[in-house]
Protein backbone atom coordinates (compact mmCIF):
# COMPACT_ATOMS: atom_id res chain seq x y z
CA UNK A 1 0.00 0.00 0.00
CA UNK A 2 1.06 3.61 -0.53
CA UNK A 3 1.22 4.20 3.20
CA UNK A 4 4.01 1.61 3.31
CA UNK A 5 6.12 3.67 0.89
CA UNK A 6 5.90 7.09 2.59
CA UNK A 7 4.91 8.26 6.06
CA UNK A 8 2.46 11.03 5.22
CA UNK A 9 2.27 12.18 8.85
CA UNK A 10 5.91 13.32 8.60
CA UNK A 11 5.15 15.83 5.84
CA UNK A 12 5.57 19.53 6.67
CA UNK A 13 2.18 21.32 6.62
CA UNK A 14 1.58 25.10 6.74
CA UNK A 15 -1.92 26.44 7.47
CA UNK A 16 -2.83 30.01 6.39
CA UNK A 17 -6.14 31.61 7.42
CA UNK A 18 -6.84 35.16 8.62
CA UNK A 19 -8.97 33.83 11.51
CA UNK A 20 -6.81 32.79 14.47
CA UNK A 21 -9.45 30.39 15.81
CA UNK A 22 -9.56 28.60 12.44
CA UNK A 23 -5.81 27.96 12.15
CA UNK A 24 -5.51 27.05 15.83
CA UNK A 25 -8.35 24.53 15.61
CA UNK A 26 -7.13 22.97 12.37
CA UNK A 27 -3.56 22.71 13.68
CA UNK A 28 -4.81 20.93 16.81
CA UNK A 29 -6.96 18.52 14.74
CA UNK A 30 -4.04 17.61 12.47
CA UNK A 31 -1.67 17.08 15.38
CA UNK A 32 -4.27 14.92 17.15
CA UNK A 33 -4.45 12.86 13.93
CA UNK A 34 -0.69 12.19 14.14
CA UNK A 35 0.78 14.90 11.89
CA UNK A 36 4.05 15.90 13.53
CA UNK A 37 5.18 19.01 11.64
CA UNK A 38 2.32 21.56 11.41
CA UNK A 39 2.76 25.35 11.40
CA UNK A 40 -0.21 27.75 11.55
CA UNK A 41 -0.24 31.45 10.74
CA UNK A 42 -2.70 34.26 10.00
CA UNK A 43 -0.17 36.27 7.98
CA UNK A 44 0.27 35.58 4.23
CA UNK A 45 3.79 37.02 4.25
CA UNK A 46 4.86 34.64 6.99
CA UNK A 47 3.40 31.66 5.13
CA UNK A 48 5.28 32.64 1.95
CA UNK A 49 8.50 33.08 3.93
CA UNK A 50 8.09 29.60 5.41
CA UNK A 51 7.62 28.13 1.93
CA UNK A 52 10.76 29.92 0.72
CA UNK A 53 12.99 28.93 3.64
CA UNK A 54 11.75 25.45 4.53
CA UNK A 55 10.81 22.30 2.62
CA UNK A 56 7.04 22.74 2.92
CA UNK A 57 5.07 19.81 1.49
CA UNK A 58 1.48 21.08 1.84
CA UNK A 59 -0.01 24.58 2.13
CA UNK A 60 -3.61 24.62 3.41
CA UNK A 61 -4.81 27.98 2.15
CA UNK A 62 -7.88 30.10 2.89
CA UNK A 63 -9.23 32.17 -0.03
CA UNK A 64 -10.88 35.22 1.48
CA UNK A 65 -8.28 37.16 3.48
CA UNK A 66 -8.13 40.96 3.85
CA UNK A 67 -4.41 41.60 3.28
CA UNK A 68 -3.78 39.13 0.46
CA UNK A 69 -6.30 36.61 -0.85
CA UNK A 70 -5.49 32.99 -1.60
CA UNK A 71 -5.13 33.53 -5.35
CA UNK A 72 -2.48 36.21 -4.81
CA UNK A 73 -0.66 33.91 -2.40
CA UNK A 74 -0.60 31.18 -5.07
CA UNK A 75 0.62 33.69 -7.67
CA UNK A 76 3.52 34.83 -5.49
CA UNK A 77 4.29 31.22 -4.59
CA UNK A 78 4.55 30.39 -8.30
CA UNK A 79 6.95 33.30 -8.86
CA UNK A 80 9.32 31.80 -6.28
CA UNK A 81 9.92 28.81 -8.61
CA UNK A 82 10.60 26.53 -5.67
CA UNK A 83 11.93 23.07 -6.43
CA UNK A 84 10.01 21.19 -5.37
CA UNK A 85 7.08 23.54 -4.60
CA UNK A 86 4.47 22.73 -1.94
CA UNK A 87 1.11 21.43 -3.08
CA UNK A 88 -1.84 23.68 -2.26
CA UNK A 89 -5.15 22.62 -0.68
CA UNK A 90 -7.62 25.50 -0.84
CA UNK A 91 -10.28 26.06 1.82
CA UNK A 92 -13.28 28.07 0.60
CA UNK A 93 -16.96 28.65 1.14
CA UNK A 94 -17.40 28.89 -2.65
CA UNK A 95 -18.68 25.77 -4.42
CA UNK A 96 -19.40 26.88 -8.01
CA UNK A 97 -17.73 25.06 -10.92
CA UNK A 98 -16.32 28.37 -12.19
CA UNK A 99 -14.63 29.03 -8.86
CA UNK A 100 -13.27 25.49 -8.64
CA UNK A 101 -11.79 25.80 -12.11
CA UNK A 102 -10.21 29.14 -11.20
CA UNK A 103 -8.67 27.53 -8.11
CA UNK A 104 -7.24 24.56 -10.04
CA UNK A 105 -5.92 26.70 -12.90
CA UNK A 106 -4.44 29.10 -10.32
CA UNK A 107 -2.29 26.38 -8.82
CA UNK A 108 -4.42 24.51 -6.25
CA UNK A 109 -4.22 20.73 -6.43
CA UNK A 110 -7.46 20.24 -4.48
CA UNK A 111 -10.00 22.20 -2.47
CA UNK A 112 -12.43 21.64 0.40
CA UNK A 113 -15.54 23.72 0.97
CA UNK A 114 -16.37 25.23 4.34
CA UNK A 115 -17.76 24.09 6.66
CA UNK A 116 -15.67 21.00 6.04
CA UNK A 117 -16.09 17.42 7.17
CA UNK A 118 -13.03 16.46 9.23
CA UNK A 119 -12.83 12.92 7.82
CA UNK A 120 -12.97 14.22 4.24
CA UNK A 121 -10.36 16.90 4.95
CA UNK A 122 -7.93 14.40 6.48
CA UNK A 123 -8.42 12.06 3.51
CA UNK A 124 -7.59 14.84 1.06
CA UNK A 125 -4.59 15.96 3.13
CA UNK A 126 -3.26 12.39 3.15
CA UNK A 127 -3.82 11.95 -0.61
CA UNK A 128 -1.98 15.17 -1.43
CA UNK A 129 0.92 14.38 0.89
CA UNK A 130 1.21 10.86 -0.58
CA UNK A 131 1.47 12.35 -4.08
CA UNK A 132 3.99 15.01 -3.02
CA UNK A 133 6.23 12.72 -0.96
CA UNK A 134 6.21 10.00 -3.62
CA UNK A 135 7.21 12.55 -6.25
CA UNK A 136 10.03 13.79 -4.02
CA UNK A 137 11.11 10.20 -3.38
CA UNK A 138 11.42 9.51 -7.12
CA UNK A 139 13.52 12.64 -7.63
CA UNK A 140 15.80 11.65 -4.78
CA UNK A 141 16.13 8.12 -6.12
CA UNK A 142 17.17 9.45 -9.53
CA UNK A 143 19.99 11.37 -7.87
CA UNK A 144 21.01 8.31 -5.86
CA UNK A 145 21.14 6.17 -9.01
CA UNK A 146 23.41 8.68 -10.74
CA UNK A 147 25.79 8.70 -7.77
CA UNK A 148 25.84 4.89 -7.69
CA UNK A 149 26.87 4.76 -11.36
CA UNK A 150 29.68 7.29 -10.80
CA UNK A 151 31.15 6.12 -7.50
CA UNK A 152 30.38 2.45 -6.93
CA UNK A 153 32.32 -0.47 -8.27
CA UNK A 154 31.05 -3.47 -10.20
CA UNK A 155 30.49 -5.25 -6.89
CA UNK A 156 27.72 -2.75 -6.04
CA UNK A 157 25.76 -3.09 -9.30
CA UNK A 158 23.31 -5.38 -7.54
CA UNK A 159 22.46 -2.50 -5.21
CA UNK A 160 21.77 -0.30 -8.22
CA UNK A 161 19.38 -2.90 -9.61
CA UNK A 162 17.58 -3.07 -6.28
CA UNK A 163 17.10 0.70 -6.28
CA UNK A 164 15.79 0.53 -9.84
CA UNK A 165 13.21 -2.06 -8.88
CA UNK A 166 12.18 0.16 -5.99
CA UNK A 167 11.74 3.12 -8.35
CA UNK A 168 9.62 1.05 -10.73
CA UNK A 169 7.49 -0.06 -7.81
CA UNK A 170 6.85 3.59 -6.88
CA UNK A 171 6.03 4.34 -10.52
CA UNK A 172 3.39 1.61 -10.63
CA UNK A 173 2.00 2.63 -7.26
CA UNK A 174 1.56 6.18 -8.57
CA UNK A 175 -0.36 4.82 -11.53
CA UNK A 176 -2.51 2.65 -9.29
CA UNK A 177 -3.23 5.65 -7.03
CA UNK A 178 -4.85 7.50 -9.94
CA UNK A 179 -6.84 4.45 -11.03
CA UNK A 180 -8.21 3.80 -7.53
CA UNK A 181 -9.54 7.38 -7.48
CA UNK A 182 -11.38 6.56 -10.72
CA UNK A 183 -13.05 3.45 -9.21
CA UNK A 184 -10.58 1.12 -10.93
CA UNK A 185 -8.96 -1.94 -9.34
CA UNK A 186 -5.53 -1.17 -10.76
CA UNK A 187 -5.69 -4.04 -13.29
CA UNK A 188 -6.67 -1.48 -15.95
CA UNK A 189 -3.15 -0.06 -15.97
CA UNK A 190 -1.65 -3.57 -16.15
CA UNK A 191 -3.78 -4.49 -19.18
CA UNK A 192 -3.22 -1.12 -20.80
CA UNK A 193 0.57 -1.11 -20.32
CA UNK A 194 0.99 -4.67 -21.61
CA UNK A 195 -1.17 -3.84 -24.64
CA UNK A 196 1.06 -0.82 -25.29
CA UNK A 197 4.11 -3.08 -25.13
CA UNK A 198 2.58 -5.53 -27.62
CA UNK A 199 1.73 -2.74 -30.06
CA UNK A 200 5.15 -1.09 -29.73
CA UNK A 201 6.95 -4.36 -30.50
CA UNK A 202 4.65 -5.08 -33.44
CA UNK A 203 5.28 -1.62 -34.88
CA UNK A 204 9.03 -2.13 -34.52
CA UNK A 205 10.01 0.25 -31.73
CA UNK A 206 13.49 -0.47 -30.29
CA UNK A 207 13.61 -2.87 -27.35
CA UNK A 208 14.72 -0.18 -24.90
CA UNK A 209 11.83 2.12 -25.89
CA UNK A 210 9.33 -0.75 -25.61
CA UNK A 211 10.55 -1.39 -22.07
CA UNK A 212 10.23 2.32 -21.25
CA UNK A 213 6.70 2.38 -22.66
CA UNK A 214 5.70 -0.69 -20.62
CA UNK A 215 6.69 1.03 -17.38
CA UNK A 216 5.75 4.63 -18.26
CA UNK A 217 2.22 3.99 -19.56
CA UNK A 218 0.75 3.10 -16.11
CA UNK A 219 1.14 6.79 -15.19
CA UNK A 220 -0.98 8.06 -18.10
CA UNK A 221 -3.80 9.23 -15.80
CA UNK A 222 -1.74 10.31 -12.77
CA UNK A 223 -3.14 13.83 -13.25
CA UNK A 224 -6.56 12.60 -12.11
CA UNK A 225 -5.20 12.96 -8.58
CA UNK A 226 -5.87 16.67 -9.09
CA UNK A 227 -9.49 16.28 -10.27
CA UNK A 228 -12.28 16.65 -7.65
CA UNK A 229 -14.30 13.52 -6.83
CA UNK A 230 -17.52 15.36 -7.68
CA UNK A 231 -16.38 15.51 -11.29
CA UNK A 232 -14.22 12.39 -11.56
CA UNK A 233 -16.92 10.09 -10.14
CA UNK A 234 -19.99 11.86 -11.53
CA UNK A 235 -22.36 9.18 -12.89
CA UNK A 236 -24.02 11.46 -15.46
CA UNK A 237 -22.80 13.63 -18.31
CA UNK A 238 -20.35 16.38 -17.38
CA UNK A 239 -21.23 20.02 -18.00
CA UNK A 240 -19.00 22.12 -20.24
CA UNK A 241 -17.27 23.65 -17.20
CA UNK A 242 -16.82 20.25 -15.55
CA UNK A 243 -15.42 18.83 -18.76
CA UNK A 244 -12.91 21.67 -18.87
CA UNK A 245 -11.71 20.73 -15.40
CA UNK A 246 -11.61 17.02 -16.30
CA UNK A 247 -9.42 17.70 -19.35
CA UNK A 248 -6.91 19.51 -17.16
CA UNK A 249 -5.72 16.12 -15.84
CA UNK A 250 -3.40 15.82 -18.85
CA UNK A 251 -1.47 18.98 -17.94
CA UNK A 252 -1.56 18.16 -14.22
CA UNK A 253 -0.04 14.74 -14.97
CA UNK A 254 2.70 16.23 -17.13
CA UNK A 255 3.44 18.81 -14.43
CA UNK A 256 3.82 16.06 -11.81
CA UNK A 257 6.24 14.05 -13.96
CA UNK A 258 8.33 16.68 -15.74
CA UNK A 259 11.61 18.25 -14.63
CA UNK A 260 13.78 15.13 -14.50
CA UNK A 261 16.61 13.55 -16.47
CA UNK A 262 15.01 10.10 -16.19
CA UNK A 263 14.09 8.64 -19.59
CA UNK A 264 11.27 6.74 -17.92
CA UNK A 265 9.65 9.82 -16.38
CA UNK A 266 10.20 11.87 -19.54
CA UNK A 267 8.22 9.30 -21.54
CA UNK A 268 5.60 9.13 -18.78
CA UNK A 269 5.18 12.93 -18.93
CA UNK A 270 4.77 12.75 -22.72
CA UNK A 271 2.12 10.05 -22.42
CA UNK A 272 0.25 11.87 -19.64
CA UNK A 273 0.09 15.04 -21.75
CA UNK A 274 -0.75 13.58 -25.18
CA UNK A 275 -2.77 10.37 -24.70
CA UNK A 276 -6.05 12.24 -25.36
CA UNK A 277 -4.92 13.79 -28.64
CA UNK A 278 -6.74 12.51 -31.75
CA UNK A 279 -5.40 11.65 -35.19
CA UNK A 280 -7.75 14.20 -36.84
CA UNK A 281 -6.68 17.03 -34.50
CA UNK A 282 -9.88 17.17 -32.44
CA UNK A 283 -8.28 15.96 -29.18
CA UNK A 284 -6.78 17.81 -26.23
CA UNK A 285 -4.88 19.54 -24.71
CA UNK A 286 -2.89 20.80 -27.75
CA UNK A 287 -5.14 19.76 -30.64
CA UNK A 288 -2.21 18.02 -32.38
CA UNK A 289 -2.92 15.88 -35.44
CA UNK A 290 -1.44 12.83 -37.13
CA UNK A 291 2.31 12.41 -36.58
CA UNK A 292 2.53 15.69 -34.64
CA UNK A 293 1.31 13.51 -31.76
CA UNK A 294 4.27 11.65 -30.18
CA UNK A 295 4.17 7.93 -30.98
CA UNK A 296 3.87 6.82 -27.30
CA UNK A 297 0.77 9.03 -26.98
CA UNK A 298 -0.79 7.50 -30.10
CA UNK A 299 -0.13 3.95 -28.89
CA UNK A 300 -1.52 4.64 -25.43
CA UNK A 301 -4.63 6.32 -26.87
CA UNK A 302 -5.70 3.10 -28.61
CA UNK A 303 -4.77 0.81 -25.70
CA UNK A 304 -6.45 3.03 -23.10
CA UNK A 305 -9.71 3.50 -25.01
CA UNK A 306 -9.99 -0.22 -25.85
CA UNK A 307 -9.66 -1.24 -22.20
CA UNK A 308 -11.93 1.59 -21.03
CA UNK A 309 -14.66 0.39 -23.41
CA UNK A 310 -14.44 -3.10 -21.93
CA UNK A 311 -14.64 -1.76 -18.36
CA UNK A 312 -17.71 -0.71 -16.46
CA UNK A 313 -17.59 2.93 -15.35
CA UNK A 314 -19.97 5.11 -13.28
CA UNK A 315 -21.34 6.57 -16.53
CA UNK A 316 -21.52 3.46 -18.77
CA UNK A 317 -21.78 -0.31 -18.98
CA UNK A 318 -18.95 -2.50 -20.24
CA UNK A 319 -18.81 -3.18 -23.98
CA UNK A 320 -18.15 -6.58 -25.52
CA UNK A 321 -14.77 -7.32 -27.14
CA UNK A 322 -16.25 -7.39 -30.70
CA UNK A 323 -17.93 -4.02 -30.06
CA UNK A 324 -14.69 -2.49 -28.80
CA UNK A 325 -12.70 -3.81 -31.78
CA UNK A 326 -15.36 -2.49 -34.17
CA UNK A 327 -15.08 0.93 -32.53
CA UNK A 328 -11.32 0.98 -33.09
CA UNK A 329 -11.83 0.15 -36.77
CA UNK A 330 -14.55 2.79 -37.14
CA UNK A 331 -12.37 5.47 -35.51
CA UNK A 332 -9.25 4.63 -37.54
CA UNK A 333 -8.15 7.86 -39.19
CA UNK A 334 -10.32 9.95 -36.89
CA UNK A 335 -9.51 9.19 -33.28
CA UNK A 336 -6.67 6.72 -33.82
CA UNK A 337 -3.54 6.38 -35.96
CA UNK A 338 -4.57 3.97 -38.78
CA UNK A 339 -1.23 2.16 -38.60
CA UNK A 340 -1.65 1.51 -34.88
CA UNK A 341 -5.19 0.23 -35.45
CA UNK A 342 -3.82 -2.12 -38.12
CA UNK A 343 -1.27 -3.56 -35.69
CA UNK A 344 -3.95 -3.71 -32.98
CA UNK A 345 -6.08 -5.94 -35.20
CA UNK A 346 -3.05 -8.03 -36.21
CA UNK A 347 -2.38 -8.69 -32.51
CA UNK A 348 -5.96 -8.85 -31.27
CA UNK A 349 -5.67 -12.46 -30.07
CA UNK A 350 -2.69 -11.63 -27.86
CA UNK A 351 -4.36 -8.42 -26.63
CA UNK A 352 -7.55 -10.28 -25.73
CA UNK A 353 -5.44 -12.84 -23.84
CA UNK A 354 -3.94 -9.98 -21.83
CA UNK A 355 -7.43 -8.71 -21.03
CA UNK A 356 -8.52 -12.13 -19.74
CA UNK A 357 -5.25 -12.81 -17.89
CA UNK A 358 -5.61 -9.58 -15.88
CA UNK A 359 -9.39 -9.46 -15.65
CA UNK A 360 -10.88 -7.49 -12.74
CA UNK A 361 -12.89 -10.59 -11.82
CA UNK A 362 -9.76 -12.36 -10.54
CA UNK A 363 -7.14 -10.35 -8.69
CA UNK A 364 -3.95 -10.38 -10.73
CA UNK A 365 -0.46 -10.73 -9.31
CA UNK A 366 1.67 -8.97 -11.96
CA UNK A 367 5.45 -9.16 -12.07
CA UNK A 368 7.21 -6.54 -14.13
CA UNK A 369 10.69 -7.24 -15.45
CA UNK A 370 12.84 -4.53 -16.96
CA UNK A 371 16.08 -4.14 -18.86
CA UNK A 372 16.26 -0.41 -18.01
Cα–Cα distance, 291 to 288 (Å, whole number): 8
Average pLDDT over residues 199-226: 92
pLDDT in tens, 236-265: 888 999 999 999 999 998 998 888 778 888
Q: Computed over its alpha carbons, how large is the radius of gyration of the chain?
A: 22
Q: Helices 338-346 and 321-330: crossing angle, nearest 10°?
A: 150
Q: List for the chain the helix, strand, coil content (%; round to 5).
A: 60, 10, 30
> Rounded CA gap, 84 and 89, in Å?
16
pLDDT band at 282; cut points 50, 70, 90 = very high
pLDDT level of residue 20 (50, 70, 90 thresholds): very high
Question: Which one is predicted more confidently, 120 or 343?
Answer: 343
Domain locations in the chain as residue ranges: 2-131, 152-357
Lowest mean pLDDT among 50-64, 195-209, 311-325: 311-325
Structure confidence at residue 184 (pLDDT): 53
Which of the listed CATH numbers 1.20.1740.10, 3.30.70.1140, 3.40.390.10, 3.40.50.2300 matches domain 2-131?
3.40.50.2300
> Does the CA dihedral 246-252-257-263 come out positive or negative?
positive
> What is the reported pTM?
0.53
Q: Is the pLDDT of residue 24 over 60?
A: yes
**8 Å CB contact between 274 and 170:** no
Classify domain 152-357 at the CATH superfamily level. Hypothetical protein af1432 (1.10.3210.10)
Looking at residue 289, what is its pLDDT?
96
In the prediction, which pLDDT does 37 show? Answer: 92
Burial of residue 203, with CB atoms counted within 10 A of its CB: 0-12 exposed, 13-18 middle, 19 or more buried: middle
Q: End-to-end alpha-carbon separation of the chain, Å?
A: 24
The more confident residue out of 163 and 327 is 327
Amino acid sequence: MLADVVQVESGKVVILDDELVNVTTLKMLLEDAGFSDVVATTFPGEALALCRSAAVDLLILDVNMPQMDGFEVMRQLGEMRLSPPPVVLMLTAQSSVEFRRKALVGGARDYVTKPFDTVELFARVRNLLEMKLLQDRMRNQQHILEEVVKKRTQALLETQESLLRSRLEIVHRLGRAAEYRDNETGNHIIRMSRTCDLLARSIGMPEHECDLLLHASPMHDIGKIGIPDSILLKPGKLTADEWGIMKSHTRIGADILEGTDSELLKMAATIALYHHERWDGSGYPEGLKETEIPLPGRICAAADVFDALLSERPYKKAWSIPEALQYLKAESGRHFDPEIVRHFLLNQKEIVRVYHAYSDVVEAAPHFQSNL
